[in-house]
Amino acid sequence: MLKKSDILAALADCYDPSLPCNIMDLGLVRSIETSPDPDAPGAGIPGVPQKHRVRVEFSLTNPTEEAEAQLTAQIRNRLAGLEEAGEVTLVFVSEPAWSPQQITPAGRRILGLDGNRNLVQIR
């Protein structure tokens, strides 16, 4: 069974093309949906893990075609490593636009935004 925690862990290995931080800590992932894929190869065969369709909606820090292509490739490659992940649909969402307020506390630490008096604190 494909677990949401497995998908989240896989996405945490994907990095923004512009900032040295993973897409989960940047708050770029808007939604994740999964559903069983009854049409996947091996479906219904005993002992073959059930494949799932995965849909990920995401935004970009720098919405360019190059950044979208790079991030899309990373996400596809990372999710391909999950045995139960089958068909993957990625949807770039431009509205509402990403903002630094979506960065998690861990992401702020990674980027050096916490505790540095010379930087504007993002909350």
Helix (H, G, I), strand (E, B) or coil at 85: strand
CATH 3.30.300.130 is held by the domain 4-40+48-110: yes
Q: What is the pLDDT of residue 33?
A: 97
Q: At what angle do helices 4-11 and 65-80 cross, to 10 degrees?
A: 130
Q: What are the sequence ranges of the domains in the chain?
A: 4-40+48-110
pTM, entire model: 0.87
Q: What is the pLDDT of residue 48?
A: 87
Position 123 pLDDT exceeds 60: no
Position 34 pLDDT exceeds 90: yes
How far is residue 98 from each of residues 5, 21, 46, 61, 76, measured CA to CA in Å?
23, 14, 44, 6, 21
Position 11 pLDDT exceeds 70: yes
Q: What is the pLDDT of residue 115?
A: 65
Summarize the confidence of residues 83-110 as an average pLDDT. Answer: 93
